[in-house]
């Protein structure tokens, strides 16, 4: 396993993307995880995978600012090359963004810029979308607004439910996120000043996997 590209994962809940990122280590190494919810199933995932996880619940700190300060301190200590948000249910602090500029990714269960925020599957159904999916994007100060890197699409079958759609999108998330992280670890996708660029090799690989690359050419 390569140990020279260090990935730190932040999650708040189930942790299936965290587990899946850990399963696909090779080009990168998941060196640790941070969690803000002591009841998160992802903590068990980390223990099973033998990955160290630090839990930083809001209730342990007098203010949200102090909690965020501790998250930043722990993240800096992990010396990550890349930070992957994976169901991390808070907006990262401006100090966190500046400490790790161009090095924070998120996965979101919609084809951004459509449906930022919560309840994306029900909203996609209510809007009568024929195509839904997920996006890996660079994190900026907004809610799901950073530059998109790549998307995986899921056709919406007539009469489908939000639950079934969620399952189908999650399957695609588990294909897409490790692929993007591996491409960044190998230098095939680069992020500079919030802009995403990919080599011809990465762009053609994205196409062969059925992903839609959303950045620029390198």
* Residues taking part in catalysis: 108
35 three-state secondary structure: strand
Phi, psi of 75 (to 5 degrees): -65, -45
Task: Give residue number: closest CB to ligand GRF.
Answer: 87
Identify which of residues 68 and 132 has a Cβ nearer to ligand GRF in the complex.
132
- 32-to-29, 68, 87 alpha-carbon distances in Å: 9, 17, 15
Using the rule CB under 6 A, which residue among 6, 108, 132, 203 binds ligand GRF? 108
Q: Which lies closer to ligand GRF via its Cβ, residue 120 or residue 203?
A: 120
| CA pair distance 51, 43, nearest whole angstrom | 9
- Per CB under 6 A, the segment of 6-14, 27-35, 97-105, 209-217 that binds ligand GRF is 6-14
Beta carbons within 8 Å of 102's beta carbon, 6+ residues apart: 138, 191, 192, 193, 194
Options 28, 35, 82, 87; binder of ligand GRF; rule CB under 6 A? 87
Beta strands in 23-146 (DSSP E): 29-35, 53-55, 82-85, 104-108, 131-138
Site for ligand GRF in 7-66 (CB under 6 A): 11, 13-18
135 touches ligand GRF (CB under 6 A):
no
Min dist CB 69 to ligand GRF, Å, is 23
Pick 160 or 199: Cβ nearer ligand GRF: 160
Pairing between β-strand 195-198 and β-strand 189-192 as defined by DSSP bridges? antiparallel
The residue within the footprint of ligand GRF, chosen from 6, 173, 180, 203 (CB under 6 A), is 173
């Amino acid at each position: 396993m390569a140990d020279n590209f260090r990935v730190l994962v932040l999650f708040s809940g189930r942790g299936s993307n965290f587990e899946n990122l850990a399963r696909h280590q090779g080009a990168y190494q998941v060196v640790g995880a941070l969690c803000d919810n002591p009841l998160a199933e992802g903590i068990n995932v980390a223990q099973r995978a033998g990955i160290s996880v630090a839990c930083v619940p809001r209730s342990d700190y007098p203010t949200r600012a102090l909690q965020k300060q501790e998250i930043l301190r722990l993240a800096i200590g992990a010396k990550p090359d890349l930070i992957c948000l994976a169901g991390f249910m808070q907006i990262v602090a401006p100090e966190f963004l500046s400490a790790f500029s161009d090095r924070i990714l998120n996965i979101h269960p919609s084809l951004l810029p459509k449906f930022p925020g919560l309840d994306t599957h029900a909203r996609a159904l209510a809007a009568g979308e024929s195509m839904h999916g997920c996006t890996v994007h660079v994190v900026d100060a907004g809610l799901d607004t950073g530059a998109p890197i790549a998307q995986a699409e899921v056709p919406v079958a007539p009469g489908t439910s939000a639950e079934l759609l969620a399952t189908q999108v999650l399957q695609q998330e588990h294909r897409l996120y490790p692929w993007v992280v591996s491409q960044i670890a190998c230098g095939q996708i680069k992020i500079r000043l919030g802009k995403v660029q990919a080599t011809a090799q990465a762009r053609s690989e994205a196409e062969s996997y059925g992903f839609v690359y959303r950045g620029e050419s390198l």
